Structure 1
Amino acid sequence: MKTHAPNMPRRSLGWKYDLSKPNEPPELNLSLRHLYPAPNQINNINLELPRSSLRIRGLGSLVGTILTASYTVWLLQFLYETLTHQWEAGVSLIVFTVGFSIVLYWLVIPTIRMDIELPRDEPIRFNRLRRKVYFYQYHFDRLHLFSRQRWGVRPVVYDWDDLIAEACSVYAPMGNGGLIESVMISVIKPGTEAVIDRLFFTHDIERGKQYWALVQLFMQQGPHALPDFVHPPRDWNDDAQLSFIRRIAPKVRWPDAIDLESRTAPLSG
């Protein structure tokens, strides 16, 4: 199991309330069978849910590239005219331009890279016999924009009993009300209120509640407690089922050891 220093706040940003705990009765919803996308796979041992931390794929790289290219052209022209004294720019303007450029590139370049490198699916596997949860987790670091070690998929594994699902909503200046909802999963150090990790679950609170109830049913009662889903599962590694943007994204490749463990029962004895 991966461990972290317990230095995160107990409540996630924009916390509204906690969903029912892993071993409490789930909040049943008659629309569970209409979930879209449906679970990737279900059997007697594990259930795998799809997940995407980007709501719209391709937008970040397209807008980011246009913005970066346009600004870079203007910046080069500004620097050329300043250095050749064709434009007498004041020191304060130069300092502001340099500072603004650093901030802009720091915000935009990671967004472009993430949009390009993020896997086409970021699944979560729930193993009911091991009582473990396996997150296909993509990590990034804005302070090291071009690092290979600090960017990429590094799956993490936690105990089912240590998870808490949190419904969150925050307002952002987006012009249309700006309400951004999500459900986050916090990992609690046993016997304490210390949060050792926090992971994204869903963008929408209602869908998050449905997925969470589905997982609770599976972990508590098994696959026979789940409904027959209206929508078929999707193979995220099958290009024929995906849009062009998702086809160019990296395929899901679980490390062999974690892939085997997450799909099998523990050895008896």
Structure 2
Amino acid sequence: MQAAPSIVDQGQVPLGLSGVLRRFKRGESVTETGVTLGMVKNVYDSAIEYTGISPGMRGMLMLSGLFTASIAFWGGQFFLFDILKRGKIGIFEASIIFFSGLFFLFGIYFAIKSIRLELFRPEDEPTIFDRKNRKVYRIYRETYAGWGGLVSAWPMKTAEYDWDLIDAEHHAAVTTTGATISRQHGLIFLVRKSATDSTLVDSFAIGNSMQMGEVTVPAVWEHIRRFMEEGGPHLPPGDVLRPIDRPYTFWQCMAATGPYGAKFRIWWREQTALMVLGLIFFPIILPTMSLLGVFTWLSYRTSIPIKWSPEVQVAIQSPQ
């Protein structure tokens, strides 16, 4: 990785559609109030712990990955069978067969990758911001890309960084469905090697694209900044800790992902228009939500318990 200049003092860059929208300064407020979006799961004497896997995200990786794989499989077989029906193989037909094979390989890769990402993952991948020791601690699973990564072991790791070597950025990526264009936002932390060597050695995110937006990314950073730099509160006024609401049984997972049982009445009362659309598209919605419930259950059933090391526990003290 090439050496990168320290970005903590470079301030704001011009707002674009994608890439780095803003580089934050530790000593500069970016919003009037900070928020946590309900991501703080524990508070300690001088530290706060952010969850890394939101409960509603369990099963989503497998569902989206297998959906992408199914589209690739469908595209591959569509073109392949069309060519085979012609009964004549020329240069053009051979090229179509070649690209059909690439579709199948793409689908296989995404199917296996999504299953591995979802199963046997940590029960959480939390991050602790410790202002007393000016440290940041993480528990995470290291994953590897490429075909070799599919058969490699993905180890669980714990990392410790100096807060003063971490820079924060607001990232955005443009996505399209073919009919609409949208931007996904992220709060990304970059870790430099040392005070004299700006080589980037690691990076991590707080929140996910479903939680974070153009306005909420700066607000989440502002809460962390104030807590670490100005002795700010563990939680913003009126905020509460994320409840531990892990579903344990199969039916609890099904109820957590769709309008089943008592949730049907709650969703009908609070999201009537959405529920009407759900009933209209019932043949599509029901199988999709049911699959998500099954994948959520599998993700929880295979999740690996995590525990902070004794050294980290001593550093952050006991929960308040």
| 1:179 is aligned to 2:183 | yes
Residue aligning to 1:37: 38
Worse-superposed segment, 209-218 or 53-62: 53-62
Larger relative contact order (C-alpha < 8 A, sep ≥ 6)? 1
| Residue pair 1:236, 1:251 contacting (<8 A) in 2 also | no
Residue aligning to 1:256: 309
- Are residues 14 and 261 of structure 1, via their aligned partners in 2, closer, same or farther at CA, if it must alter by over 3 Å? farther
- Are residues 155 and 225 of structure 1, via their aligned partners in 2, closer, same or farther at CA, if it must alter by over 3 Å? closer
| Residue pair 1:50, 1:121 contacting (<8 A) in 2 also | yes
Q: Deviations over 1:95-152 (max 9, x none)?
A: 2222332233234431332133444532110122221101222321122243352x24
Residue aligning to 1:231: 240
Cα displacement (A) at 1:16: 1.3
- Give the secondary-structure state (helix, strand or coil) at the position aligned to 2:105: helix
Cα separation, 2, equivalents of 1:114 and 1:259:
27
- Are residues 63 and 129 of structure 1, via their aligned partners in 2, closer, same or farther at CA, if it must alter by over 3 Å? closer
- Are residues 116 and 7 of structure 1, via their aligned partners in 2, closer, same or farther at CA, if it must alter by over 3 Å? farther
| Residue pair 1:52, 1:121 contacting (<8 A) in 2 also | yes
Residue aligning to 2:115: 112
Residue aligning to 2:221: 212
Please provide the CA RMSD for this pair: 4.0
Worse-superposed segment, 117-126 or 237-246: 237-246
Cα displacement (A) at 1:218: 2.2
Cα separation, 2, equivalents of 1:234 and 1:54:
10
- Give the secondary-structure state (helix, strand or coil) at the position aligned to 1:44: coil
Question: Structure 2: where are the runs of 5+ without partners?
Answer: 8-17, 257-292
Matches within 5 A, 1:52-131: 52=53, 56-65=57-66, 68=69, 71=73, 89=89, 90-131=93-134
Worse-superposed segment, 179-188 or 44-53: 44-53
| Residue pair 1:42, 1:223 contacting (<8 A) in 2 also | no
- Give the secondary-structure state (helix, strand or coil) at the position aligned to 1:62: helix
Correspondent of 1:134 among 134, 137, 146: 137
Higher helix share: 2
| 1:27 is aligned to 2:36 | no
- Give the secondary-structure state (helix, strand or coil) at the position aligned to 1:30: coil
Cα displacement (A) at 1:17: 1.3
Worse-superposed segment, 224-233 or 100-109: 224-233
- Give the secondary-structure state (helix, strand or coil) at the position aligned to 2:306: coil
Question: Structure 1: where are the runs of 5+ without partners?
Answer: none
Q: Deviations over 1:216-259 (max 9, x none)?
A: 22223446575334334322667599835655332550353465
Correspondent of 2:196 among 166, 191, 194: 191
Q: TM-score, normalised by structure 2?
A: 0.62
Q: Deviations over 1:31-76 (max 9, x none)?
A: 63xx43141111223210123499854234234335646838x76x
| Residue pair 1:53, 1:200 contacting (<8 A) in 2 also | no
Cα displacement (A) at 1:214: 1.8
Instruction: Give the AA of the match of 1:263.
Output: I
Cα separation, 1, equivalents of 2:231 and 2:40:
14
Q: Deviations over 1:143-201 (max 9, x none)?
A: 2243352x243222211011111011121233322212112111123234432222122
Correspondent of 1:158 among 157, 161, 179: 161
Cα separation, 2, equivalents of 1:96 and 1:262:
55
| Residue pair 1:237, 1:252 contacting (<8 A) in 2 also | no
Cα separation, 2, equivalents of 1:86 and 1:201:
53
- Count of matched residue positions in the alignment of Structure 1 and Structure 2: 252
